[in-house]
Structure 1
Amino acid sequence: MTEEEEDEEYLKEEEDALAGAGGTRLVSQPSCIKGKMRDYQLAGLNWLIRLYENGINGILADEMGLGKTLQTISLLGYLHEFRGITGPHMVVAPKSTLGNWMKEIQRFCPILRAVKFLGNPEERNHIRDDLLQPGKFDVCVTSFEMAIKEKSALRRFSWRYIIIDEAHRIKNENSLLSKTMRIYNTNYRLLITGTPLQNNLHELWALLNFLLPEIFSSAETFDEWFQISGENDQQEVVQQLHKVLRPFLLRRLKSDVEKGLPPKKETILKVGMSQMQKQYYRALLQKDLEVINAGGERKRLLNIAMQLRKCCNHPYLFQGAEPGPPYTTGEHLVENAGKMVLLDKLLPKLKERDSRVLIFSQMTRLLDILEDYLMYRGYQYCRIDGNTGGLGINLATADVVVLYDSDWNPQADLQAQDRAHRIGQKKEVQVFRFCTEYTIEEKVIERAYKKLALDALVIQQGRLAEQKTVNKDDLLQMVRFGAEMVFSSKDSTITDEDIDRIIAKGEETTAELDAKMKKFTEDAIKFKMDDNAELYDFDDEKDENKVDFKKLVSDNWIEPPRRERKRNYSESDYFKQALRQGAPAKPREPRIPRMPHLHDFQFFNNQRLNELYEKEVRYLMQANQKKDTIDGEDEDQLEPLTAEEQEEKEQLLEEGFASWTRRDFNTFIRACEKYGRNDIKSISSEMEGKTEEEVQRYAKVFKERYKELTDYDRIIKNIERGEARISRKDEIMKAIGKKLDRYKNPWLELKIQYGQNKGKFYNEECDRFMLCMVHKLGYGNWDELKAAFRMSPLFRFDWFVKSRTTQELARRCDTLIRLVEKENQEYDEQERQARKEKRLAKNTTPTKRAALRNSEGESAPLSSFKRRRQSLMDDYVGSGRRKRG
């Protein structure tokens, strides 16, 4: 090779290397993508293309609202337009977002043929058989649940791309979803998540292992990479972790890429409680005095916390709190809740400046209350809940967000705000977070702020920040907070301040909290915390809020008596009782005796019981109304139940079947259909918790009184239909047994009189085996019959009979049974005729018998019956065997 040739080869290699390093870079969006992609979205598409060209799987982790769905669809469009790859691709997402995925594909890339794989079994069968066929679709959009349930259908395909939305759902490699997604055959995998990677290292490894199982094969090795030997290595660990993530993860924030997006400003607006709210809040604390003072189990504390938060939202969330019936919408709806007073002051100001407002709450029934309020005030509104909207909904025309209550998880509140603070927003977004003063809500909000601050750090002590649940101590502090103020003040603490003043105070409060969080973040980022440090400690508030409630007893309330702990704790009953104690006393209603609900299948004497019950009720009502009657206008005095009537009532209640439930009754009816009404023992075997004597007693009453049932015609017809099946089965088994009894060894000797119905495919050996096995196994056990054919050495090479379905075997068996029954009828007729002739012969005189012989001494010609009988005998003898008997 000359120098010139060598230089030319080197030059070509360098050009190829540079071209390979650069790869494809789109300067404009694919023509198949409708609408205008933003610059950072086009950059995201180029990043995804680069992953594709290098054979790498990745995580698209842009902040919520930056269009991750569009970027993903544009990748599939690029593959379709420039590479000729039409799929099949699979998108796996939460069920609530599937509709949004289908709309976005149709909107941005209509050339992609998308199929939504969801629905009941019949709908899925149609989709699987008609739509989800090779060449008929490009993208299959399905839910996490369907990816698990329909894995046998989805595994038929070799997928080009499997895309998982809300990818944190597979952070546990041992979950069923994660295991299922790993069995699918695919060229590429893409994870989509808007939630920052904030979990521990092992969960990060699970995501990376899903993407690149060959590289990240061992969790132990991955942990070793990020071991910290000393404080000097901590920063190095952080840098190393970022280097590992950089090739696989793309995350951008709105503040970085959307320079034209107006800012978002959050203000915490604090408000006091109404008198009714304080009354209920105090009643809840009183009821759980011992738990709050001594500390209780976490579940009980969570229940108390939930009820206190309901009280902060609106007391009408408790049953019986709203005045009525009749229930009317009026000023009381606003006046009895501090947050409603605040909202009522805020909305007119926002309406003046032509703002559109989003109001968020976690409680569905609070949305009902808000609807009543908005209708009462005449505001136009649209309600969006689980039935009308899901994740990804764009509400960018709104510029004000009201968080009526705060979520334990701050990411949920961020998602709510980002419905408005997203691409397309033209105004500054104002977020007003409502908070009830001196209550548990203050601590919930503070904890959410601290959690966000920790999440923002991403790394603590060389590892991703741990997700911490609310522990028992945190809950105790939250519940105890503000208790002294609630007990010392019973009046309303809602102020009449102007809304502008309330907002100004809210801005000061928010600024103070932000400063507090900044100090908290600075302390955390120093990496000085040990493994036992509690990240959510509320400074020195542990001691401040350790209130001894018994010290508050003297001036405010009487200490309730100790109550017995029930074994089965019912949350609803428990809090109903708590609120009943705190509610104002109502005049005592007359106690009406409760009669059990009498179902028709329990066979009570309803008429007589109703008579006795009505008599007792009328007497009690009159006795309670005596005090309201005017002198001289007394009604005729009614009599109470006599001792005999009381005894009769008790007897009638015992005679019915009060312990029989609807489920017991349905089981009894099905058992009657299956075994017949007379087989009490078999029916009892189906009844759980019922003895044979109980079932026998019920069956006897049912037989006598079934016409009292509402739907007795249908019930009896079903039972009679079942009994007819049982009777027919018995007839069949008797017919087969009768046929087999005529042979000494039916397995070898049995012959079937086919006539014209032998059939083309089954032979006599097969039919003989079938009848003998049915006699052994019982009629209707077709699976066992099929197994017997497969196991028998007689048919090991008979592929026809071994390949028959149970339905085909059943049909053939029915044909043979009809032949056997016909033969049995003929045989019975012949037997009757023979007996008749025998009787005639016995009664005939010797002279008459002699006349039957001919002159040569030969017998007279045989009768047709005798000829037939002789023929049958010849068949049996000709086979080398003697007829038994």
Structure 2
Amino acid sequence: MSRSEQKENAPIKLDKYLENNNEHESKRDSRLEYLLKRAELFSHFVTNGTKAKNAGKKGHRNKESAEIKPKRLKKEDGSFELPVSDRDEVKLMQYDKTPDYIDGEMRDYQINGLNWLIKLCENGINGILGDEMGLGKTIQTISIFGYMKNVKKVDGPFLVIAPLSTLQNWLNEAQRFCPSLRAFVLHAYKKDRPKLLKRLKEPEDWDLCITSYDIALKEYHKFRKPKWQYVVLDEGHKIKNEKSKMNEALHAIKSNHRLMLTGTPLQNNLHELWALLNYLLPDVFSSSADFDTWFDADDCLSGNQTTVNRIHVILKPFMLRRIKSEVELSLLPKKEMKLYVDLAPLQRDTYKKVLLKEIKVIKGNGEVTYAKINQILMELRKAANHPYLINGIESGPPYTTDQHLVDSCGKMKVLDQLLAQLKAKGSRVVLFSQFKIMLDIIEDYLVWKGYTFRRLDGDKQIEQRTADISDFNAENSDVFIFIITTRAGGLGINLTTADTVIIYDSDWNPQVDFQAIDRVHRIGQKKQVHVFRLITEFTVDQRIVQRAEIKERLDRLVIKSSRKASIKNEGENHKDVLLDVIRFGADEMLSDNKSDVNFDLKRIMADAKSKEDAEKARLDGMTLEQSSSTSVYQFEGFDFRAKQPVAAPSSTATVSETKVLPSKSNI
């Protein structure tokens, strides 16, 4: 074909492309309309306590699959519409008091939760029990198993997949509240596992199997064989990545009903929410691309009420969410205070040295790799937590445990005063840190100070873990403080004998910290719970907290008000996100080295409210993408890439106006 002929055909091809694109958009809009109508139909049966006359009868649903196959009428344009339904409706059994098959008393909202689960079960709908942590999702789940066994006369089999740390609690709760359920835990080392796995072939001898995510993944081909009545995922957000092997394995385990338990259904972004819904209702939520187009996190965060309302409509029939302040009136609301801490002189020098150390990489040609950026970020996080976390900073050998552990770190100076104050008034403390090596330093400090403590991290064996928790919770226990790595102790433990939580350093994901706090602030807590969050001001530490708060705001908009916000699904591992975190601090530190440092706890507490209000006002309405900061190489008013001072911004400048965007030559 000649060049002139190609030019003549170009507009035709363009028109065809636009026509196809418009047709695709039209079908996508039709699918959204169908989804909204489908949600409305589900809501009718779930809300009104009725079920379709043929629900649960033979042939109503494929018992080998958890997928709902709604009848749809396809129109000529390729879109779908719901058929007109004239099915009769049948009233469901609903409870107004604790069922006879449950030993003990359920709270009113837990009975309402059981009634909601019955509605889902009878109408063949899978769902998310998204109650806030500490409201008894376990007892509500056990009660629906009891309903199936004692009322519906269905002996299972039922399967619960849960974090390892919660397996024993699940077994204890099942035996305590519903003795008629024959339950066992399937978890063992590889050499002992075949004997337990053999029990899966004999479901007539048991009703409930409780296993861990690790075993479910390793032995998923064995779990595929039984014809499960119910599969329950405790802490179901573990399958938020639809591309993970775990997600794929759990999709392969078929059942008549699926239920997901999570107090944090929205952790990072809306795409992860789709992954949860896709597991529960794969036919209804089949396309992640469509979901991402319909529901943009930026729209929610920037105040687009239409998008927020659409999400509420769609989530309503599939998710039940209650929060403690609304239903557990005997539990006092927790009081949280953010303590903004200055860098100690040694910390400040260490922080700068980390930047100076990377000048050659920073100034080099070409693009910096993710691995290098992540390494810089980790070193800065260590410097913000304690300079001794970086090799070569602490003097020695010999290494000594004395006052220098406190004097070399701003957070430790504040923690030293705070613990003394809490000890004097008889409080008991649980402290969380992301870093096991940080707990090593804190442990040395506690030994030096003579404070009694227990420690829990990922290396702790289950037997010792259980013993330490029992020691801490024992009546008249003399253990003052429990130090825990956030990821190891954020689930499955009850520490309501404490009344104070200290978050030494925050997680990228706000829900992880909330889970940790709820080890103390939960049902059974009779004291006022105080939470102190330590934040090293104008460092990556503060930036991580800011990003976590924006994510938590997305959770409030989408989940809590409906009873990623990592935009464009970049996730926290994306290099640009990490660069943004490292850049933070330049706008606030474009001045000479700070000399007016403050480590007095009373002054820090007095300033906490005003600083938190100012931070909230600055972040209000901001998305993660809009919250970019300044150059990675600017700190304390000095550009470490160019090795020269930076001009301070005007008082009216905004974050976007003052940021220094790195060019390709210096990224």
Q: TM-score, normalised by structure 2?
A: 0.69
Match of 2:184 among 109, 115, 120: 115
Post-superposition CA distance 1:789-815 (Å, at most 9, x none): xxxxxxxxxxxxxxxxxxxxxxxxxxx
Partner residue in 2 for 1:255: 325
RCO (CA 8 Å, sep 6+): is it higher in 1 or 2?
2
Displacement, 1:342?
0.8
Match of 1:515 among 596, 617, 620: 617
Secondary structure in 2 matching 1:115: strand
Tell me how far apart the structure 1 counterparts of residues 630 and 380 of structure 2 sit (CA, whole Å). 23
1:802-841 alignment to 2 at 5 Å?
none
Match of 1:310 among 356, 363, 382: 382
Post-superposition CA distance 1:768-809 (Å, at most 9, x none): xxxxxxxxxxxxxxxxxxxxxxxxxxxxxxxxxxxxxxxxxx
State the one-letter code of the partner of 1:245: L
Secondary structure in 2 matching 1:285: helix
Partner residue in 1 for 2:544: 444
Displacement, 1:268?
1.8
Displacement, 1:379?
1.4
Give ranges in structure 2 of 5+ residues lacking alignment.
Answer: 1-52, 54-85, 466-487, 646-667
Secondary structure in 1 matching 2:232: strand
Match of 1:419 among 511, 516, 519: 519
Secondary structure in 2 matching 1:55: coil
Question: Does 2:252 match 1:183?
Answer: yes
Give the fraction of aligned pairs with identical amino acids, expressed as a percent. 47
Question: Does 2:465 match 1:360?
Answer: no
For the Cα contact (< 8 Å) 2:241–2:275, is it kept in 1?
Answer: yes
State the one-letter code of the partner of 2:615: L
1:493-572 alignment to 2 at 5 Å?
495=598, 497=600, 499-517=601-619, 520-521=620-621, 534-538=625-629, 547-549=638-640, 552=643
State the one-letter code of the partner of 2:582: V
Tell me how far apart the structure 2 counterparts of residues 352 and 63 of structure 1 sit (CA, whole Å). 33
Tell me how far apart the structure 1 counterparts of residues 542 and 293 of structure 2 sit (CA, whole Å). 41
Displacement, 1:259?
2.7
Partner residue in 1 for 2:343: 273
- CA shift in 2, pair 1:223/1:399, >3 Å: closer
For the Cα contact (< 8 Å) 1:480–1:546, is it kept in 2?
Answer: no
- Bigger Rg, structure 1 or 2: 1
Give ranges in structure 1 of 5+ residues lacking alignment.
Answer: 1-15, 525-532, 555-885
Tell me the C-alpha RMSD between the 2 structures. 3.7
Displacement, 1:46?
1.0
Secondary structure in 2 matching 1:360: strand
- CA shift in 2, pair 1:236/1:113, >3 Å: same
Q: TM-score, normalised by structure 1?
A: 0.53
Partner residue in 1 for 2:495: 395
Question: Does 2:210 match 1:141?
Answer: yes
Tell me how far apart the structure 2 counterparts of residues 109 and 147 of structure 1 sit (CA, whole Å). 24
Question: Does 2:152 match 1:50?
Answer: no
Partner residue in 1 for 2:69: none
Tell me how far apart the structure 1 counterparts of residues 350 and 631 of structure 2 sit (CA, whole Å). 29
Secondary structure in 1 matching 2:106: coil
Displacement, 1:292?
4.5
What is the total number of aligned residue pairs between the two structures? 521
For the Cα contact (< 8 Å) 2:540–2:582, is it kept in 1?
Answer: yes
State the one-letter code of the partner of 2:520: A
- CA shift in 2, pair 1:396/1:176, >3 Å: same
Tell me how far apart the structure 2 counterparts of residues 112 and 271 of structure 1 sit (CA, whole Å). 52
Secondary structure in 2 matching 1:45: helix
Tell me how far apart the structure 2 counterparts of residues 214 and 481 of structure 1 sit (CA, whole Å). 43
State the one-letter code of the partner of 1:256: E
Secondary structure in 1 matching 2:203: coil
Displacement, 1:423?
1.6
Match of 1:102 among 142, 163, 171: 171
State the one-letter code of the partner of 1:355: S
Tell me how far apart the structure 1 counterparts of residues 199 and 317 of structure 2 sit (CA, whole Å). 40
For the Cα contact (< 8 Å) 2:135–2:324, is it kept in 1?
Answer: yes
Tell me how far apart the structure 2 counterparts of residues 551 and 203 of structure 1 sit (CA, whole Å). 41
Match of 2:422 among 340, 350, 361: 350
Secondary structure in 1 matching 2:215: helix
Secondary structure in 1 matching 2:352: helix
State the one-letter code of the partner of 1:276: L
Post-superposition CA distance 1:6-44 (Å, at most 9, x none): xxxxxxxxxx99995541111222334334322111110
Tell me how far apart the structure 1 counterparts of residues 107 and 426 of structure 2 sit (CA, whole Å). 29
State the one-letter code of the partner of 1:325: P
Tell me how far apart the structure 1 counterparts of residues 307 and 593 of structure 2 sit (CA, whole Å). 54
Tell me how far apart the structure 2 counterparts of residues 22 and 477 of structure 1 sit (CA, whole Å). 56
Tell me how far apart the structure 2 counterparts of residues 318 and 224 of structure 1 sit (CA, whole Å). 44
State the one-letter code of the partner of 1:334: V
Tell me how far apart the structure 1 counterparts of residues 566 and 581 of structure 2 sit (CA, whole Å). 23
- CA shift in 2, pair 1:359/1:242, >3 Å: same
Tell me how far apart the structure 1 counterparts of residues 628 and 637 of structure 2 sit (CA, whole Å). 14
State the one-letter code of the partner of 1:207: L
Partner residue in 2 for 1:91: 160
Tell me how far apart the structure 1 counterparts of residues 329 and 507 of structure 2 sit (CA, whole Å). 29
- CA shift in 2, pair 1:237/1:268, >3 Å: closer
- CA shift in 2, pair 1:353/1:20, >3 Å: farther
State the one-letter code of the partner of 2:395: P
Partner residue in 1 for 2:106: 37
Counting helix residues as a fraction of each chain, which structure ranks higher? 1
Displacement, 1:360?
0.8
Counting strand residues as a fraction of each chain, which structure ranks higher? 2
For the Cα contact (< 8 Å) 1:282–1:487, is it kept in 2?
Answer: no
